[in-house]
A = this chain, B = another copy of it.
Amino acid sequence: METKTMNIKVEKAKTSKIDQVDFENLSFGTVFTDHMLICRYKKGSWKVPEIIPYQPLTLDPSAKIFHYGQSIFEGMKAYKDDNDDVWLFRPLDNCRRLNISAKRMAIPELPEEYFMDGLIALLKLEKDWIPKTPGSSLYIRPFIFASGTGFHASPADEYTFIIAFAPSGAYFSGKVKVLIEEKYSRSANGGVGFAKAGGNYAGQFYPTQLAIEKGYNQVIWTDDNTHEFIEEAGAMNIFVRINDTLITAPTSDRILDGITRKSILDIAKDEGITVEVRKITVSEIVEAAKDGSLKEMFGAGTAAVISPIAAFGFRDVDYDLPQLSHSYASLLKKRITDIQYNRAEDKFGWRFKV
């Protein structure tokens, strides 16, 4: 489908940086395109978004983002097919999730057309920045932060919504080794774990650093009360394959409702794979690893797509996962990326032409 979009004012950059970029050797999220979308909330309403050259932001030192972490974001990607047509994947789901996060963080909800039409206008302008190198993509970062000022610990009266683009390589390089965490936690019952709130990420940095020092790439979080149940990996939801059943934890107010996660569930069912959405205990995974019924674990998320887990650590023991020649991870990754890059039929109606 293609849609009519609202008229968005564009201030063009005087020069382009695109010739300075090595598209064959992109890291993740360190190079930004020439323009960004900006939209401000003032005096009780969101103003019409504009496209301006990518540029520094100027903020008062008392802006609440610096003090109270009032910010939310989304992660998306744009894909270019062999005809140089540009596609998004379930973009309205990101828009709606941004507003779910907004509500929980006391940030005013953004009109959907500002998000969608702003994103489309910016993508049309920055089309040449979408990498075609396999494994690379244009990472899209919509975010809202509290730009209103004052030291009182209460919601800001002004907010800034920005969409910025970063042509990016893979989020993880190679297979991932994860640590099942029992001391530190990511989120509380009744907390903000289901929201893509900035503070959810900063809180993971230190425990993740400790895990990295021990040779792991990521932490798998468990519930903060008993540490018996697998939750998510912070940047990814987690899938476990025991024998031929694919299992993932149900979403809750502690777990992000991942768009890759729910797409994987639908594709797996379509493939005839037995799928269970239920609580997964750590002891169940450890037992399955010991008796050989644990066939696969993988993470699923926009940045990482599907990231196979090579091994997990628990209580100072590492458990290697088997190397399968026909894994669910590779099958599901092929199915989802074929839809995303317009290489296969889109029976679910997820693809969105820009």
Contacts and interface: CB of A to CB of B under 8 A. Distances in A.
Interface in A142-182: 143, 145-146, 149-155, 162, 164, 166, 168, 171, 181
A200 to B, nearest CB: 7
A197 B59 CA distance: 20
A353 interface: no
A167 to B, nearest CB: 11
A322 interface: no
A190 B224 contact: yes
B202 A68 contact: yes
A76 to B, nearest CB: 12
A234 interface: yes
Interface residues of A, number: 72
Contacts of A152: 27-30, 171
A229 interface: no
* Most chain B CB neighbours (cut-off 10 Å) among A153, A186, A209: A153
Contacts of A136: none
B205 A105 contact: yes
A150 B66 CA distance: 17
Interface stretch (A50-58, A263-271, A286-294, A333-341): A50-58
Contacts of A199: 68-69, 192, 197-200, 202-203
A250 interface: no
A70 B28 contact: no
A68 B103 CA distance: 18
Contact of A200 (B27, B69, B183, B201): B69
A184 to B, nearest CB: 4
A204 B29 CA distance: 30
A75 to B, nearest CB: 8
A182 to B, nearest CB: 8
B198 A67 contact: yes
A204 B192 CA distance: 9
A235 interface: yes
Nearest to A187: B188
A32 interface: yes
A100 to B, nearest CB: 12
A220 to B, nearest CB: 14
B62 A206 contact: no
